[in-house]
Structure 1
Amino acid sequence: MKILLIGSGGREHALAWAISASPLCDRLYIAPGNPGTAQCGENVVIDIADHQAVASFCKLRGIEFVVVGPEGPLVDGIADALSAAGIKVFGPSKAAAQLEGSKAFTKELCAQFNIPTAGFGRFSDAVSAKAYVAAQGAPIVIKADGLAAGKGVVMAETLAEADDAIEMMFAGGLGAAGAEVVIEEWMIGEEASFFALCDGTHALALASAQDHKRVGDGDTGPNTGGMGAYSPAPVMTPALEERVMVEIIRPTLAGMAERGTPFKGVLFAGLMITAQGPKLIEYNVRFGDPECEVLMPRLRSDIVPALLASCDGVLDAVDLRWSDEAALTVVLAARGYPASPEKGSVIRDVEKAEALDKVLVFHAGTKQTASDLVADGGRVLNVVGLGKSVGEAQDRAYAAVDAIDWPEGFCRRDIGWQAVKREREG
């Protein structure tokens, strides 16, 4: 089978690594890919925003299956265009992708189908939004309704911070994403990432993970797309995972089907584990990044049949096996991230890190010049360690980070701290 993978980040390198290992994959193309994915298949230059161009490429090369990595093309309807052209695609329709494309859409779905989530209000003007904040008090969470590349959430600890965030969004600071704003109660608890493959009717839970959104050690500084992650997440016990399936995932699938927009693909639930139980923070309609970089190394089953089953409506016949080992990834980011990352600096000795035992390096924002590997984005490399415990995986990941020669890069030094603390106390 010839397969096309859409995307260019660390998530796509991890997916390319897993897909290329499948006996079902005869040839893997990645559009546009990165220097890391080039080791797993053939990078191709296609305008992924031009859905007809993607479909034409698939017809020309005899591609039978397309896996869409990032959320943008899904929200824009690439799955619909490929399906209409008779090409099987992993990822939800444009209508179903609203679960990520519009936070207001998801909050209203939760309200209709009694899915536990934070209390909220939705607003299309600054005056009413500020009045709501004044009535609710701080701390409070301000979210742009649309896609904002991980920058559309402000955790406002004061009323002044909330008002500034509202002003910024309605003034166009996040473009069209901030045309409508969702304001939520500040939930107390521990965050976790929960993934489930879905075929419109059935859902198959994947391994749990936990990421670190704040840029600085100790969960300080602005939110990012994610500075690191680990799997499994000790907070997600088997009993808690079952609650998430019963109270959140299955009602969502049933609700989407009832609305006439069945969800097929991977459902990524960002959760807050509160004193009352798990509550939905938000949905994403694709694999998490950097969570994908710790899930794929732990997956012992072939990923391709599971992705195909999601498309074909037969997930109930699929069972996945996971390694008992833990995986932890540290994101190496370019100086200036998340505001204005500096591009072009040379990265050396990645191969030294990759040569270490139980270490993988996934590329996210790199570019290969004639002579050097250089930084070409904000989050640049994902350095993964595997081990018998999260602590052992952490040690391996940071040893690999320290083997890489990149003075212009930085990382958090405390990825996995909650799990490591649990291990030491347990």
Structure 2
Amino acid sequence: MKVLVIGNGGREHALVWKLKQSKRIEEIFVAPGNAGTEKLAENIDIEATDINKLIDFVKKEKIDLTVVGPEAPLVTGIVDAFEAEGLKIFGPNKAAAQLEGSKVFSKNFMKKYSIPTAKYETFTNVDNAISYIKEEGAPIVVKAEGLAAGKGVIVAQTVDEAIAAVEEIMVNEKFGEAGERIVIEEFLAGEEATVLAFTDGNTIVPMIPSQDHKPAYDGDQGPNTGGMGAYAPAPIATENLMSKVYQEILVPTIEGLKEEGIIFKGVLYSGLMVVDGKAKVIEYNVRFGDPEAEVVLPLLKNDLVDVIEATIEDRLDQVDIEWLEKTAVCVIMASGGYPVRYEKGKEISGIEEAESEDIVVFQAGTALKDDKLVTAGGRVLGVTALGNDYQDTIDKAYEGVKQIDFADAHYRTDIGAKAIK
């Protein structure tokens, strides 16, 4: 069969890498892809949100299955458009994608269906938002309503920081239309975990739990990013906690959507804060996380095509999903200055030396220029290692990182430290 993967980040490279292992696939295309996907598949110069061009390409090439990586095309309604043309595509439709596309929708949804989450209020008026912050005090969390590439959430430690965040989003329009409405919510002090789940709208199969590292610097300091690394499985997500997450979060989410007349098919991402052994939802996403995909997919034993098709065809209950009994750690190597200002075009070396049987380097912000591999984004590479225990795997991942070189490379040195602690 022929498969198209949509997107150009580390998550998409991981998806292509996993799909490439399927005996059922003859050819993989990626739109638009990056320098890493080009080694495994054929990159197509079509942007992830250019739905009409993507449909034309799929029809022309007789693509059997399309897999959507990023959130923007899902929120725009790519699944609805493909299905209207009778084309097979993996991901939730536009109505279901509101869970990620609108933080106001998702918070109101959680409130309506008694899904545990932080206390919140929504605002369209700057003065009202500032008055609320002054009443509530800090620390407090300010969120742009719409999509902001993982950077629209500001955890403000002081009232002044929170007010500055409101002004940055609503007055300076840092995230454009995504910041026309904001959510202000209570700060939850705990440990984060991510639970991804495959669902066909009836059956829900949680994946192995992982933990992302959002802040830019060691010790969870600095501004939020799209993610500086991840590991799996996350020990904070005990068997008992996973059982509660299934019963109190995953099932009420899928059933609540059904009540709203929405069938969710694809990957549901629940970003959780675990406080005193109880999980609350910080955010939903409607696709594989990035960098979580880079640690979860390498631990999946199954042929990903089989799982995807079962999800699309409402027969997920017939698939036995299995996981390797190993640990995975991904360290993101970013451009110096990320997530604020950074330069592109720095030559990258050492990837081949870094890769081994237990280490794979997923490319994200990369490009080929004059036959040289160069940086082309904020998050450049995801160095993923597999091992038998956390310390072994962390050591392997950082050994891989040390082999790779590009000017001003920045990475956290404490990815996975919480797992050992």
TM-score range, shorter chain: over 0.9
Q: Which runs of 5+ in 1 are unaligned?
A: 422-426
Q: CA deviation at 1:317?
A: 1.2
Q: CA deviation at 1:357?
A: 4.4
Q: Which runs of 5+ in 2 are unaligned?
A: none
- TM-score, normalising length: structure 1: 0.97
Structure 1 residue aligned with 2:192: 191
Structure 2 residue aligned with 1:352: 353
Q: CA deviation at 1:175?
A: 0.6
Matches within 5 A, 1:72-111: 72-111=72-111
Matches within 5 A, 1:401-416: 401-416=401-416
* Partner-residue secondary structure (3-state), 1:414: coil
* Partner-residue secondary structure (3-state), 1:96: helix
* Partner-residue secondary structure (3-state), 2:272: strand
Structure 2 residue aligned with 1:296: 297
- Once the two structures are superposed, residues 167-191 of structure 1 have per-residue CA deviations (whole angstroms, 9 ceiling, x without a partner) of 1111112110100000110012110
* Partner-residue secondary structure (3-state), 2:38: helix
CA distance in 2, matches of 1:57, 1:407: 37
Aligned length: 420
Q: What code does the residue aligned with 2:48 have?
A: I
CA distance in 2, matches of 1:51, 1:267: 22
CA distance in 2, matches of 1:403, 1:148: 32
- Once the two structures are superposed, residues 123-172 of structure 1 have per-residue CA deviations (whole angstroms, 9 ceiling, x without a partner) of 11111111111221111100000001111111011111111111111111
CA distance in 2, matches of 1:275, 1:394: 27
Q: CA deviation at 1:266?
A: 0.2
Structure 2 residue aligned with 1:129: 129
Q: What code does the residue aligned with 1:101 have?
A: G
Structure 1 residue aligned with 2:23: 23
Structure 2 residue aligned with 1:374: 374
* Partner-residue secondary structure (3-state), 2:361: strand
* Partner-residue secondary structure (3-state), 1:141: strand
Structure 1 residue aligned with 2:364: 364
Structure 2 residue aligned with 1:326: 327
CA distance in 2, matches of 1:137, 1:327: 39
Q: What code does the residue aligned with 2:324 have?
A: S
Q: What code does the residue aligned with 1:220 have?
A: Q
CA distance in 2, matches of 1:371, 1:32: 18
Deviant stretches of 4+, over 4 Å = none
CA distance in 1, matches of 2:219, 2:71: 29
- TM-score, normalising length: structure 2: 0.98
Structure 2 residue aligned with 1:66: 66
Q: What code does the residue aligned with 1:145 have?
A: E
Pair 1:146-2:150 in alignment:
no
Matches within 5 A, 1:213-362: 213-275=214-276, 277-354=278-355, 356-362=356-362
Q: What code does the residue aligned with 1:138 have?
A: A
Contact 2:241 2:277 (C-alpha < 8 Å) held by counterparts:
no
CA RMSD of aligned residues (A): 1.0
* Identical residues among aligned pairs (%): 48
Q: CA deviation at 1:50?
A: 2.2
Q: CA deviation at 1:14?
A: 0.3
CA distance in 1, matches of 2:61, 2:277: 52
Cα 1:276/1:361, change in 2 over 3 Å: closer
